């Protein structure tokens, strides 16, 4: 019972934080970078992102970047070499149709299938909200390098799994990026520790 109540508290707290983040009125073009893990697993953070999009993103463009085939071998190799993780989880049982079926505003979604950041080379947008739930070190670090310069003032980037001992590269990517660019961050008290970066 205590565990259940704690999960309820964490979900409510995280929704409140995300709501306050987006309530600031950032009206520029937005992006939620959602991998199949976010839309496929029943984790409450995934549900939070979906529910938040219904309230705060009814008219904004949402880019969905994914291989739709699970982890890329190039990213797994980096994690394996640096002893961050084995990258052994299989997220290949998904599809574009399945992901879009979970999105409340399908017409706003732009699917970018393939290896990131190649899939975003021709995109000329600024973003107010980015969610990186990538598990492995390299795509998280590359995601921060790509999106942070394109983040609007007052925008936010969420990075999942920063206290997940199964994916040590997530935390390392955030630490290295923030040290390199002198960017601060905080970690939300959700199940796997979501790091939040902003641009003042």
Q: Which pLDDT band, with edges at 50, 70 and 90, does 35 fall under?
A: very low
% of the chain exceeding 90 in pLDDT:
26
Rounded to an integer, what is the distance from CA 101 to the centroid of its chain? 19
Give the DSSP letter of residue 76.
H
SS3 163: coil
Burial code of 121-145, b = ≥16 C-beta within 10 A, e = fewer?
A: eeeeebbbbbbbbbbbbbbbbbbbe
State the CATH number of the domain containing residue 57: 3.40.50.150
Which of 23, 154, 40 lies closest to 94, judged by CA? 40
For residue 192, the model assigns a pLDDT of 82
Segment among 6-15, 98-107, 115-124 with least mean pLDDT: 6-15
Angle made by CA atoms 25, 111, 75, in degrees to the nearest 5 = 100
For residue 175, the model assigns a pLDDT of 97
Report the predicted TM-score, pTM, of the whole model to 2 decimal places. 0.78
Q: Where in the sequence is the domain holding 75, given as residue range(s)? A: 2-198
Which of 76, 85, 50, 105 lies closest to 164, judged by CA? 85
Highest mean pLDDT among 27-41, 91-105, 139-153: 139-153
**Predicted confidence (pLDDT) per residue in 109-134, tens digit:** 888 888 888 888 898 888 888 888 88
In this structure, what is the dihedral angle of CA atoms 144, 150, 153, 159, given to the nearest 10 degrees? -20
In this structure, what is the dihedral angle of CA atoms 178, 179, 180, 186, given to the nearest 10 degrees? 10
Number of domains observed in the structure of the chain: 1
């Amino acid at each position: 019972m205590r565990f259940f109540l704690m999960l309820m508290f964490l979900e409510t707290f995280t929704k409140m934080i995300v709501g306050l983040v987006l309530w600031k009125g950032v009206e520029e073009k937005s992006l939620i970078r959602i991998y199949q893990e976010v839309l496929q697993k029943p984790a409450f953070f995934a549900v939070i992102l979906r529910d938040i999009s219904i309230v705060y993103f009814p008219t904004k463009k949402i880019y969905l970047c994914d291989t739709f085939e699970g982890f890329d071998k190039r990213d797994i190799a980096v994690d394996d070499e640096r002893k961050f993780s084995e990258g052994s989880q299989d997220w290949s049982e998904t599809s574009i149709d399945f992901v879009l079926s979970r999105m409340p505003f399908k017409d706003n979604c732009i699917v970018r299938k393939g290896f990131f950041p190649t899939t975003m080379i021709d995109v000329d947008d600024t973003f107010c909200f980015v969610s990186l739930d990538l598990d492995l070190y390299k795509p998280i670090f590359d995601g921060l390098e790509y999106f942070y310069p394109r983040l609007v003032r007052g925008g936010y980037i969420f990075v999942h799994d920063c206290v997940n001992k199964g994916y040590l590269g997530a935390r390392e990517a955030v630490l290295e990026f923030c040290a390199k660019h002198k960017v601060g961050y905080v970690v939300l008290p959700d199940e796997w520790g979501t790091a939040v970066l902003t641009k003042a």
